[in-house]
Structures are given as structure tokens and as C-alpha cells.
Amino acid sequence: MGVKLYGHPMSSCTVRVMACLYEKGVEFELVPVNMFAGEQKMPDFLAKNPFGKIPVLEDGDLTIFESRAITEYISKKYHAPATDDLLRSDSPEESIAVRVWVEVESHHFQPAMSPIIFQHFVAPLQGKAPDQAIIDDHLAKLAGVLDVYEARLGKTKYLAGDFFSLADLHHFPYMFYLMKTPWAAAVTDRPRVKAWWEGMCGREAFKKVAEGMKFEK
């Protein structure tokens, strides 16, 4: 039994996991879950993830949900010497730095970014007008977060240090979508954040996953 990923190539959390699978060169089958038909709330899917969210990874007998737990699992289990160690497990200092910046993405970047992407791309698909007040409020929060990143990236090449890690990878989906909005200047006005982002865009794994990232029903 191979690796199966239940998800959707448009979903940010699915993309996060796909980027990691491509980085590690893991062959997998993407099993599409039709979010618009609510398949993730059906009993079959709830048996895999009781929270009714994509993605879910199945690897043999193991079923894992929560995208950031899945990427950690993949990074550990499928680490191959020819690929970057995304967790920096050999160094206690580097591995804790990765953990800190993984948490920063979860608790600062994602809460600022997610409502912007939702309002701009998802609300219209649901027949609703984007709420500009919500967007503006979160753009202000995002600016604060990216100011910290700009300073940080003056000291280290990537967020956790001079190495690409899971902390950078986790940012890929929301960064990619932000660049398709009218507010890409949040990135391009900050030279180090811009260079960090452009460097990430050059990675083969990200090019591959970007192909499916189109908001449409």
C-alpha cells in the first residue's frame, strides 16, 4: 500500500503537504475530496479525520491529519540523504529554531493571512462579496508580522537559520496566493522578504505544486 493523500490541489493545507512530499521525492496518490459538495463532512471522511478537514494522509495502517503534523511525519520518515533535512534533527539548536518558526507561522502568519485569502478568493466562490474591512484589518496584522520577518532575514538566509526548513515550507501556500491578490506589495516592498520568497519559488517542489493552485469550482 502506497502513500495516499486525501485533499484538493487548491486547498492551502493540502498544498503544504504536497510541497513536502515533492521535496522528499515521495510517490503518492492524491485522492480528490470535493469540498464544495461537502465530502469532508461525510461519515467515510470523518472516520479518517473527526474534524472534517482536508488533508488526511494514509501510509499503510497509519492515518494522519493536520497538515503540519503530516509534514513532520513525512520529513522524518522519508528523509533521504540527497534531500534537505527539513527538521535539522542532527542539531539541537537548529531543530529548536525550526520549531520556533514553525510555531510563528501557525500563530502569527497564518491567523493574519488566512482571512485575507478567504475573503478574496473563497467568499466569491460561495457567492459572497469580500469583506474589505476584514481584509484591511488583517493586512495591518500581516504588515506587523512581515516587518519581523524582514528584520530576521537580515540575520539569516531563511527563517530558522541559513538553511531551508519546514518553517519556510509551511509558508508556501498562503504566500503564493497573496502574490495573486492586489496586496502583493506586502511582500515586494520588503526586499529581504521578497528575496526569500523568490528563492522559494525557484524550488522544483514548489513549481510542481503551484500548477494546481487555481481557485475555481
The grid coordinates listed for 51 are 474534524
In the bound complex, what is the minimum distance in angstroms from residue 140's beta carbon to a copy of itself? 15
Q: Which residue lies nearer to a copy of itself by CB, 51 or 215? A: 51
Q: Which residue lies nearer to a copy of itself by CB, 29 or 147? A: 147
Q: Which residue lies nearer to a copy of itself by CB, 190 or 203? A: 190
Q: Which residue lies nearer to a copy of itself by CB, 92 or 202? A: 92
In the bound complex, what is the minimum distance in angstroms from residue 1's beta carbon to a copy of itself? 16
Q: Which residue lies nearer to a copy of itself by CB, 76 or 207? A: 76
What whole-number distance in Å separates Cα of residue 74 and Cα of residue 23?
A: 10
Which positions touch a copy of itself (CB under 8 A)? 50-51, 62, 64-66, 68-69, 72-73, 76-77, 92-93, 96, 99-100, 102-104, 106-108, 145, 148, 151-152
The grid coordinates listed for 109 are 502568519
In the bound complex, what is the minimum distance in angstroms from residue 49's beta carbon to a copy of itself? 10
In the bound complex, what is the minimum distance in angstroms from residue 57's beta carbon to a copy of itself? 10
Residues near 41 by Cβ (< 8 Å), separated by ≥ 6?
52
C-beta of residue 44 within 8 angstroms of C-beta of residue 93: no
What whole-number distance in Å separates Cα of residue 161 and Cα of residue 96?
A: 11
The grid coordinates listed for 53 are 478537514
State the alpha helices, DSSP H only, in the chain.
Answer: 12-23, 43-46, 67-77, 92-104, 110-117, 123-125, 132-152, 166-169, 172-178, 185-188, 191-201, 204-210
In the bound complex, what is the minimum distance in angstroms from residue 194's beta carbon to a copy of itself? 19
